[in-house]
A and B are shown apart, each in its own frame.
Chain A
Amino acid sequence: MNLRSFLSRDATLNRVVPPSGFTAILTLVSSGVMAFLAVFTLALAMAAGDLASNWEAELAGTATVRITASDDVLEAETEAVLTALSQTPGVVSSRRLDLSEQLELLAPWFGTGLPLDELRLPVLIDIMETAEGPDRTGLEQRLAAEAPGAVYESHGRWRAPLVEAAGRLRTLGYFALFLIAVVTGVMITLAASTSLAANAQVVDVLRLVGAKNGWITGAFVLRFTVRAILGAFIGTLVGIVAVALMPGGIETGILSGLGFQGAEWIWPVLVPIIAGGTAAGATFLSAGRTLRSAL
């Protein structure tokens, strides 16, 4: 007779809650589905986050003034603009692009070897700004007065709403993750209390042989935590595969960052662990409440 196998440290604790039944499936499936959703949401939130911060970094602190004027006033207006900029708080530096730089900018559209003499190019002034940037309205008013041909163009202006939208998307993603955790907690609480009720006889027998609430709670917590981790592990794997199968590529915009790189992998790896923690907490509270109320 080999009694050792089940008398080893916690074998009974592992086995005392019946392994099958409706609540087992509920826990397994709901944590699996939630983990899948969590991985997807994470991927989206991170892509949005990456996008927002990339755009922000690219655009932060750059602006251009373009001056179009007739030849006789062009140089004077340029001087006026440069002076105005050097006196504007929020402007770190300003520099007139020389001809070769301008041609470089135009090359993608017109190719190289442009007949320079025949082109009347506007003057471009490249501006480096502080993080806060200059007071736009003030600067525009001054430019309008001193150099009517000058147009101040902040790159942030047209991309700012996009950056904001991407940031908003990321926030929404994190909120969705929070909701997923809450729903998982609720589902497992439901499953655990159903299981406690369905296993009233097990609980009765355990009470009768002197099991303390802590031990009984531990048995249920163990069962539900293991189930939730297992379900979430499967869901996470499926989620990661699904994300990896998304058609990607650098130029696909919002989708370009979908997937996990480097340190981001910590998050999908954490999903089953968080699911386990949620299950443990939910079962602990549910069992505590049920066991305290009945004598």
Chain B
Amino acid sequence: MIELDKVAVSFGDRTLFSDVSLILPPGSFHFLTGPSGSGKTTLIRLCSMEMQPNSGQVQLLGKTVSGLSQNNVSAMRQRLGVVHQDSRFIDHLSVAENVALPAAVTGKTGRHTEYQLEELLAWVGLAGQAKNLPPELSGGERQRAALARAVMLSPDVLLADEPTGNVDWDMSIHILELLIELNKLGKTVLCATHDLNLIRQAKSRVSAKVLRLHGGAIEIAGAGL
């Protein structure tokens, strides 16, 4: 489903990754952890095709990412849900319109989509804020709106970068539950977080693997968490 093969990334003359390889099988749940600045966001961005590695290959949904045309990248994105650390919205469109955006840009409109949107807004607990504008949402509400938008087209893969970054503990647990629910529906989930408590909390509910980024290398974290 997601495969990184000998990926190297550097910014200027600073090397972040020199040789990272990784396989995330379909339907798996992985946490990605590591100290701040270790490259979690960068790894997520590689997987969401927002950046290209300096060398090595990224395989996504059976396709090699490098050399894809813009329109092919767009088509791949429709099968990929991404929740960013700082979720961006179109601020003059309502929350509901923002959540429905992936459907709108692919021409999926009509009865079924409406129904799906209502379900989704209720699922993330934003039914009451559907008509609000994104700047009117709290941090946790933004993250949940971003999550709802990410799964609008029922993607095969969900990438979440610190989805509980700026929310309180109860809300973190709520968002975690939503992610676990999606994984139970068969979606491949990769969730970057530096919050070890959250990972411990998840371990009892889902068979998640924990990847740790450290010094530009990736390792499977032991049971010692």
Query: Which A positions have Cβ atoms within 8 angstroms of B?
Result: 1, 3-4, 6-9, 11-13, 15-16, 18-19, 201-202, 204-215, 291-292, 295
Assuming A7-B100, A12-B100, what are 11 further A-B pairs, CB within 8 angstroms?
A: A3-B114, A3-B118, A6-B96, A12-B104, A19-B92, A202-B90, A206-B105, A207-B74, A210-B75, A210-B77, A210-B106
Is B31 part of the binding interface, using a Cβ–Cβ cutoff of 8 Å? no
A214 to B107, CA, bound (A): 12
Is B82 part of the binding interface, using a Cβ–Cβ cutoff of 8 Å? yes
A3 to B144, CA, bound (A): 19
A206 to B131, CA, bound (A): 20
Contacts of B97 in A (CB 8 A): 6, 12, 15
CB closest chain-B residue, reference A204 = B88
Contact sample, A vs B, 9 pairs, CB 8 Å cutoff:
A6-B96, A11-B104, A19-B92, A205-B101, A206-B105, A208-B88, A209-B149, A210-B78, A212-B74
Contact A6 B94 (CB under 8 A): yes
Is B71 part of the binding interface, using a Cβ–Cβ cutoff of 8 Å? yes
Is B89 part of the binding interface, using a Cβ–Cβ cutoff of 8 Å? yes
A19 to B90, CA, bound (A): 13
Contact B153 A210 (CB under 8 A): yes
Contact A215 B90 (CB under 8 A): no
Contact A3 B93 (CB under 8 A): no
Query: Which residue in B74, B78, B93, B127 is a CB contact (below 8 Å) of A12?
Result: B93
Contact B96 A3 (CB under 8 A): yes
Contacts of A205 in B (CB 8 A): 88-90, 101
Is B58 part of the binding interface, using a Cβ–Cβ cutoff of 8 Å? no
Contacts of B70 in A (CB 8 A): 212-213, 291-292, 295
Smallest beta-carbon distance B135→chain A, Å:
12
Total of A-B residue pairs, C-beta within 8 Å: 92
A7 to B94, CA, bound (A): 12
Smallest beta-carbon distance A211→chain B, Å:
4
Contact A16 B82 (CB under 8 A): no
Is B130 part of the binding interface, using a Cβ–Cβ cutoff of 8 Å? yes
Contacts of B7 in A (CB 8 A): none
Contacts of A213 in B (CB 8 A): 70-71, 74
Is B67 part of the binding interface, using a Cβ–Cβ cutoff of 8 Å? no
Known contacts A205-B88, A210-B102: A8-B109 contact under CB 8 Å? yes
Smallest beta-carbon distance A208→chain B, Å:
6
A1 to B127, CA, bound (A): 8
Contact B109 A18 (CB under 8 A): no
Among A12, A15, A16, A209, the one with the most B-chain Cβ atoms within 10 Å of its Cβ is A209
Contact A3 B71 (CB under 8 A): no
Is B41 part of the binding interface, using a Cβ–Cβ cutoff of 8 Å? no
Contact B114 A7 (CB under 8 A): yes
Contacts of A207 in B (CB 8 A): 74, 77
Known contacts A1-B130, A8-B109, A213-B71: A208-B82 contact under CB 8 Å? yes
Smallest beta-carbon distance B75→chain A, Å:
7
CB closest chain-B residue, reference A219 = B105
A295 to B94, CA, bound (A): 26
A204 to B131, CA, bound (A): 22
Contact B105 A7 (CB under 8 A): no
In chain B, positions 74-126 with a C-beta closer than 8 Å to chain A are 74-78, 80, 82, 88-90, 92-94, 96-97, 100-102, 104-106, 109-110, 113-114, 117-118
Contacts of A3 in B (CB 8 A): 96, 100, 114, 117-118, 130
A16 to B50, CA, bound (A): 22
Contacts of A202 in B (CB 8 A): 90
Contacts of B71 in A (CB 8 A): 212-214
Contacts of B117 in A (CB 8 A): 3, 7
Contacts of B73 in A (CB 8 A): 295
A202 to B89, CA, bound (A): 8
Contacts of B92 in A (CB 8 A): 15, 18-19
Query: Which residue in A1, A4, A209, A291 is a CB contact (below 8 Å) of B105?
Result: A209
A19 to B93, CA, bound (A): 11
Contacts of B118 in A (CB 8 A): 1, 3
A206 to B105, CA, bound (A): 8
A195 to B73, CA, bound (A): 24
Contacts of A206 in B (CB 8 A): 90, 101, 105
A211 to B74, CA, bound (A): 6
